[in-house]
Structures are given as C-alpha cells and as structure tokens.
C-alpha cells in the first residue's frame, strides 16, 4: 500500500508540473492573441484536471484501506518507514509548491483573458454605435425618415 501511495503522489507531482507548463503556454497564446490555440490548450488543461481529480480520489481510497479513519496523508504517515515517510513528505511539499505557482499563473491567465474580453466588448460596442444611424435615413418607400422616431401620444377610437 505504501508503494501505491508513493507512486500516486509521484504521478500527481508530474501532472501538476504538466499543468504548470500548460498554463504558461496558455498565457503565451493569450499574449499573442491566438484564440484557436487558447481553446485547444484549455481543453487539455480541463482533461488534465479531471485526471488529477481521479488520482486524488484513488489516493483517498488507499488511505482508507490503510486506516479507515484516515482522510489525509498526515493520518497514514505513521504506518510508513522512515525512508518512505521522507519521500512522501518531499513529494507532498513539491506538489504543494507547484500548486501554488499554478494558482498564481491561473490568476494571471484569468486577468489576461478578462482584459482581452473587455477590449473586444468595448470595440464591438463602439462599432455598434457607429453603425446605427442617428440622423435621417431613407425608409422603405424611398422617403427620408427618422431612424428612431420620437415618442408620441396615440389617441383614437375603436
């Protein structure tokens, strides 16, 4: 069981390191305004996160097999020998450090994507205001009409 825990932690460390690289690549595509590559990288990131969640769930199953009351690595470290304990703690610290870097990179990616969205939205709003006529235009019958009619009061009988 201890070997399974260590191999799971090693896989998680490699997956989180790959996640960090994918996020950096996504940021470079965001910076170069390449939406096609951003979308493909985003799909890869989402799939990697799904696989990482599966790994973590399987790790909790292993913890429960070692000790039914265990929920975290700290609860099962007492069953490890000294070398395995040191290796598990090292892997856990490495994973935690990489996850913190990933969180910072994710916030940078989010800010960049939100900024690009705001720029695109304001450009589209500006274009929309330029395209809508605000003075008289020709109507369907070929006469000069007002694009937006003034509000009026309707009175009549039925």
CATH number at residue 114: 1.20.58
Name the percent of the chain in helix, strand, coil, to the closest 5.
75, 5, 20
pLDDT tens digits, one per residue of 25-80: 999 999 999 888 999 999 999 999 999 999 999 999 998 888 888 888 888 888 88
Is residue 75 one of the residues assigned to a domain? yes
Give which of 142, 127, 2 is closest to 59, Cα–Cα. 2
Is residue 100 one of the residues assigned to a domain? yes
Is residue 141 one of the residues assigned to a domain? no
Is residue 56 one of the residues assigned to a domain? yes
Task: Supply the pTM of this predicted model.
Answer: 0.75
Is residue 114 one of the residues assigned to a domain? yes
Is residue 33 one of the residues assigned to a domain? yes
- CA pair distance 65, 53, nearest whole angstrom: 19
* Domain extent at residue 61: 2-133
First-last CA distance in the chain: 87
Give which of 116, 99, 93, 120 is closest to 23, Cα–Cα. 99
Tell me how many domains the chain contains: 1
């Amino acid at each position: 069981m201890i070997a399974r825990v260590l191999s799971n932690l090693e896989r998680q460390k490699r997956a989180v390191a790959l996640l960090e690289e994918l996020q950096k690549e996504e940021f470079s595509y965001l910076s170069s305004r390449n939406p096609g590559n951003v979308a493909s990288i985003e799909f890869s990131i989402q799939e990697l996160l799904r696989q990482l969640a599966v790994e973590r769930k399987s790790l909790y199953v292993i913890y429960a097999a070692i000790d039914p009351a265990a929920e975290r690595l700290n609860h099962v470290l007492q069953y490890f020998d000294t070398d395995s304990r040191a290796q598990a703690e090292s892997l856990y610290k490495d994973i935690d450090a990489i996850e913190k870097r990933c969180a910072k990179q994710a916030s940078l990616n989010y800010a960049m994507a939100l900024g690009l969205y705001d720029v695109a939205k304001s450009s589209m709003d500006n274009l929309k205001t330029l395209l809508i006529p605000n003075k008289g235009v020709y109507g369907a019958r070929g006469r000069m009409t007002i694009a937006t009619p003034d509000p009026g009061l309707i009175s009549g009988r039925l």
